[in-house]
Structure 1
Amino acid sequence: MRLLIIMKRALASLLFVLSLATCGRAQNVPARLQTGYDQLDQKLEKLISADELAVSAKEAASLDNVLFLDARESFEYDVSHLPGAINIGYDNLNLKTVKDVDKSRPVVVYCTVGYRSERAAKKLRKRGFTNVYNLYGSLYAWKLAGLPLEDANGKPTERLHTYNEKWGSFVPDSIGEKVWE
């Protein structure tokens, strides 16, 4: 019995050490999720999960009856967002906007790069939504895929809210007018 306890403790210690060793390490991101912009792809592989709950911009755009949810603050959403997207915020996640949505409907959550939206998507799943995806690379990946954005008035825009100046450096200047204030 004592040997079993010692072995369990040794295994727990080994698993802890292994988990520390892998923190911040890059994952193997499938080609379908890569944005094609190396600087962004390198950052994303350390920050966002590239799993079966992540979709690329092209995959998201091809989904039938999809609902896009923007997990950024309203001032970011007003600058630019995916066409038809609903803003749910992040700091004060407003899920009242989706209370009447069929919980089996495909939902794609996005933000600037996918960090906030990944967390918002988890909250939606906990509330019973069964078909929720995180847009891997989020707004950046969408724009790099050549897909359109709209402003607060629903008009096409080339402006892109980059969260802040530092995050704006992870996409090329050719992506559009970078805004962070």
Structure 2
Amino acid sequence: MKATSTPFLLALILFVSSWAISPIATAQSVAYKALLFTLYDSDFPVLKPDQITDLSKFQVLDTREKEEFAVSHLKGANWVGYDTFSMNNVAALDKNKPVLVYCTVGARSQEIGKKLKEAGFKQVFNLYGGLIEWANEDKPIFHEGYRTYQVHTYSKSWGIWLNKGEKVY
């Protein structure tokens, strides 16, 4: 083999290996989007992580269970729960200020968001893809005031969608 063909072969191997990995990541992304499409109501507003530049503009509500919230959450998030949710949990909130609800993937938070809308909250948004999508987009999550990479993924089956971060069940 000629010395000049070695760089070509190396480049070919790198190209093929990157191509082999890329379709898997793309397929997972497409599959995740398809899953979310089945979970969300088309008439309930969502915001994607890249559409949010400043969380402080929102009243951020974590609609997961307390154990999930204790692992990590969005900065400044207030825990309101899902199974234990009560309108008393949000009595002090301003109904005219935007609210961002989230959970692991966005299904539970959408349900809590609907309850908020029914109670007169004017602007309620569901975080598209939930905490999993937030983490996958390299957005910061926190534990006791410090950035962490741990994400409670609800279960191992939901954990397959987390590409960035440490899965906690």
TM-score range (shorter-chain normalised) is: 0.7 to 0.9
Structure 1: gaps of 5 or more residues? 1-35
Checking the alignment, whether the CA contact within 8 Å between 1:50 and 1:136 is kept in structure 2 is no
State yes or no: 1:160 paired with 2:136.
no
State yes or no: 1:44 paired with 2:36.
yes
State yes or no: 1:177 paired with 2:166.
yes
Distance 2:155 2:53 in 1: 26
Distance 1:150 1:65 in 2: 18
User: What is the TM-score with the length of structure 1 in the denominator?
Assistant: 0.73
Question: Which of 125, 129, 142 is the equivalent residue of 1:137?
Answer: 129
Distance 2:29 2:42 in 1: 16
Distance 1:132 1:75 in 2: 24
Deviation at 1:171, TM superposition (A): 2.6
Secondary structure, counterpart of 2:113 in structure 1: helix
Distance 2:34 2:80 in 1: 28
Alignment of 1:78-117 (within 5 A): 78-117=70-109
**C-alpha distance after superposition, 1:3-41 (max 9, x if no partner):** xxxxxxxxxxxxxxxxxxxxxxxxxxxxxxxxx923321
**C-alpha distance after superposition, 1:74-126 (max 9, x if no partner):** 10001010011000000010433421221010100000000000000000111
**C-alpha distance after superposition, 1:118-177 (max 9, x if no partner):** 0000001111101101111110111122110001x11110000000000101232xx111
Distance 1:157 1:107 in 2: 24
Which deviates further from its counterpart, 109-118 or 55-64? 55-64
Identity of aligned residues (%): 39
Structure 1 residue ranges (4+ consecutive) displaced by more than 4 angstroms after TM superposition: none
Measured on the aligned residues, the alpha-carbon RMSD in Å equals 1.8
State yes or no: 1:77 paired with 2:69.
yes
For 1:107, the aligned partner's letter is: V
Specify whether residues 73 and 42 from structure 1 end up closer, same or farther in structure 2 by C-alpha distance, changes over 3 A only. same
User: What is the TM-score with the length of structure 2 in the denominator?
Assistant: 0.77
Equivalent residue, structure 2, for 1:15: none
Equivalent residue, structure 2, for 1:65: 57
The structure with the largest alpha-carbon Rg is: 2
**C-alpha distance after superposition, 1:61-83 (max 9, x if no partner):** 44662111000001000101001
Deviation at 1:58, TM superposition (A): 2.0
Distance 1:177 1:138 in 2: 16
Checking the alignment, whether the CA contact within 8 Å between 1:55 and 1:135 is kept in structure 2 is yes
